[in-house]
Structure 1
Amino acid sequence: MPHRIVSRQKWDKMDTDICDVGGSKKMTLKQLRYMMAVAQYKSINEAAKKLFISQPSLSNAIKELEAEIGLELFTRTAKGITLTAEGTEFLKYAQQVIEQAELLEQRYLDKKPAKQLCSISTQHYAFAVTAFVNMIKRSAADEYKFTLRETRTHEIIQDVKNLQSEIGILYLDSFNRKALQKILLENHIEFHPLFEASPHVFVSVKHPLAGNETVTLKELEDYPYLSFEQGEYNSFYFSEEILSTVFHRKSILVSDRATLFNLVIGLNGYTISTGVLNADLNGTDIVSVPLAVDERMVIGWIANKKARLSVQGEAYIEELQAVIRSYKLQ
């Protein structure tokens, strides 16, 4: 069945009618846009000019919004207007609502959006960055707002659960699969496999074991083991590295990929990952060596079952698949 066409007039009316659903007062998209403009320009007068409405009308709209939600969003002084702590938190949610509304307009009103939107949360994978770069280059958008977060496993799941990110990228293996799948199921999140790989270690090209066809955990004992810290959610199940329960005499936790690779080079350290490296992003100072263990990891993307991917989200998945096909995976 074809989509029913909704006119611009009907859409605008929906924005005003939402106030009186069920006989109770509710906020509107227009109010949220007004609030965001005031937060951006830090001035009622300046925001009113940009919105092409009168200053009293905008001021009243903000006061009405504050009264409806029972919070003071702005602090007004002789020097101007600034967000309160509650207003700062409210703004984050308002931005998400407006971005989702723009996606709705794009899909159902055939309206070219002011900017293309896409947000990705991922574990620290070079191929995820490469696909993101390719997606942006192919978007041909005049204006866009894309987000790429390399972050912790728990935060990836939370981002997708709360629709802060359309897509998350993480891995499952024989150890974490049951625990993570339970969490994903409870949060209405679906896992989509991308590829399966055997564990590799990333080491410096000058590392004594760099030329080996394979390496064992025993051979790595004397070298520093590098892994990504997971904050308060430091359960082995949330570890970004496979074989997370293995004991290491020398262990260093880091929070970003650049620091990890600098320590791999500077300390002759190593980390365990998929084996997928990108010389354009990571340079030629790091090499990948297969780790001699009987384990496999499945890297995939997750999405909220309650939401449909945007055009750019679908484009990102296509770029991910293309990048992965270009690698020779073991």
Structure 2
Amino acid sequence: MGATSGITLQQLRYFVEVAAEGSISAAADLLYVSQPTMSGAIKDLEQRVGCTLLIRSARGVSLTVDGTEFLGYARQVVEQAGLLEQRYFGGQPSRRMLAVSTQHYSFVVEAFVRMVRGADAAEYAFALRETRTWDIIEDVRTFRSELGVLYRNDFNHKVIDKLLRDSGLGFTPLFLATPHIFIARSNPLADRERVTLDDLDGLPRLTFDQGANNSFYFAEEILSTRSSAQDIRVSDRATIFNLMIGLGGYTISTGIISDDFDPSIVAVPLDVDERIEVGWIGQSGIPLTEQALRFVAEMRDVVSGYGVETLS
């Protein structure tokens, strides 16, 4: 990159919004400036840093490799400037921004709800994406999301860790969980203290579809290589819970489930010698923004509330 002399905070704010919206015109509308003004500011920013930050097309804009790296630092500067103005110059709380990509965990939704409710801002732009494992890593790698939430265990950790290293990402453990099955309260197994794998024979196994990257290593459920006579893949939590109720199916997860969000589903311990390590991923060497740190703190608080010890 070239010299950064003359870069303004306004240009950085414009750039962060454009990257978040994927469109110069949409970002201009959000910030109440004209599209030519926004476009000119971004072009001037690229000239000052000495590289192309955005790829323009008829469908909008996307980040270049340099733009992806630049965005991480720009977010930090914009957020810190907002906190400075609020603390020392009596400014209004700045517009809060955070995007999170995650596997399908109700505790993440609960933490996200708490974060949004606690946001001290009149304006905010938050995003929560429940998506596939590969896409979580891609979202964080390309700065579409600041952090992601996923699990690893003895089976998948070498593959996941290598992919994270190759993507410039790091994994921070959040908690260790013993495997449970999620089933409907009406399921005959719902009153059992524990269930075995043999108990699950004959029940439909419900798993989250991983799309083109449907490797066993990217499965959201442990024991993904175990054969099942009845397999159903789904794409969202609402569907998987409906199939638990309608078909008596099950899925394997952490055992942390919210009665407020999922009142018809229960978790029953699964008698296997496995552990699930859930954590968050982020860009290596780039500190989380204050908003992301608040979200991580909320996740720890939610998990602790279910009696699960968090990891430092």
In the superposition, the TM-score normalised over structure 2's length comes to 0.79
What is the SS of the residue equivalent to 2:158?
A: helix
- Identical columns (%): 39
Q: Retained in 2: the 8 A contact 1:230–1:238?
A: yes
Within 5 Å, give how 1:302-321 maps onto structure 2: 302-321=281-300
Provide the residue aligned with 1:111 in structure 2.
85
Provide the residue aligned with 1:101 in structure 2.
74
Cα distance change of structure 1 residues 236 and 64 upon mapping to structure 2, 3 Å threshold: closer
Query: Is 2:278 the partner of 1:299?
Result: yes
Provide the residue aligned with 2:6 in structure 1.
13
Structure 2: distance between partners of 1:148 and 1:265: 26
- Structure 1 vs Structure 2 CA RMSD: 3.6
Q: Retained in 2: the 8 A contact 1:72–1:84?
A: no
Q: Retained in 2: the 8 A contact 1:34–1:58?
A: no
Provide the residue aligned with 2:33 in structure 1.
51
Q: Retained in 2: the 8 A contact 1:122–1:150?
A: yes
Provide the residue aligned with 1:19 in structure 2.
none
Query: Is 2:26 the partner of 1:40?
Result: yes
Q: Retained in 2: the 8 A contact 1:153–1:170?
A: yes
Query: Is 2:195 the partner of 1:215?
Result: yes
CA-CA distance at 1:122 after TM superposition: 0.7
What is the SS of the residue equivalent to 1:323?
A: helix
The count of aligned residue pairs is 287
What is the SS of the residue equivalent to 1:301?
A: strand
Cα distance change of structure 1 residues 120 and 34 upon mapping to structure 2, 3 Å threshold: closer
CA-CA distance at 1:140 after TM superposition: 1.9
Structure 1 window deviating more from structure 2 (33-42 vs 97-106): it is: 33-42
Provide the residue aligned with 1:232 in structure 2.
212
1:154 to 134, 137, 141: 134
2:152 alignment partner AA? L
CA-CA distance at 1:13 after TM superposition: 2.9
Structure 2: distance between partners of 1:105 and 1:63: 15
Q: Retained in 2: the 8 A contact 1:194–1:298?
A: yes
1:177 to 142, 157, 163: 157
Higher Cα radius of gyration: 1
Structure 1: distance between partners of 2:169 and 2:55: 35
Query: Is 2:209 the partner of 1:242?
Result: no
Please list every run of 5 or more consecutive structure 1 residues that lacks an aligned counterpart in the other structure.
Answer: 1-10, 17-27, 74-82
Provide the residue aligned with 1:272 in structure 2.
252
CA-CA distance at 1:98 after TM superposition: 7.3
Q: Retained in 1: the 8 A contact 2:15–2:42?
A: no
1:101 alignment partner AA? A
Q: Retained in 2: the 8 A contact 1:34–1:62?
A: no
2:236 alignment partner AA? D
Render the CA deviation track for 1:145-191: whole Å, top value 9, x for unaligned. Answer: 11111111111111111122111111111100111111112222111
Provide the residue aligned with 1:7 in structure 2.
none
Cα distance change of structure 1 residues 295 and 144 upon mapping to structure 2, 3 Å threshold: same
Q: Retained in 2: the 8 A contact 1:105–1:111?
A: no
Structure 1: distance between partners of 2:55 and 2:196: 60
Render the CA deviation track for 1:23-55: whole Å, top value 9, x for unaligned. Answer: xxxxx659859988862399xxxx7x9537xx9
Structure 1: distance between partners of 2:33 and 2:81: 24
Within 5 Å, give how 1:273-288 maps onto structure 2: 273-283=253-263, 285-288=264-267
Cα distance change of structure 1 residues 60 and 106 upon mapping to structure 2, 3 Å threshold: closer
What is the SS of the residue equivalent to 2:261?
A: helix
Structure 2: distance between partners of 1:176 and 1:199: 15
Please list every run of 5 or more consecutive structure 2 residues that lacks an aligned counterpart in the other structure.
Answer: 87-92
Cα distance change of structure 1 residues 259 and 97 upon mapping to structure 2, 3 Å threshold: farther
2:170 alignment partner AA? E
1:243 alignment partner AA? L
Cα distance change of structure 1 residues 286 and 179 upon mapping to structure 2, 3 Å threshold: same
Provide the residue aligned with 1:84 in structure 2.
58
Structure 2: distance between partners of 1:155 and 1:315: 23
Cα distance change of structure 1 residues 31 and 196 upon mapping to structure 2, 3 Å threshold: closer
Cα distance change of structure 1 residues 211 and 63 upon mapping to structure 2, 3 Å threshold: closer
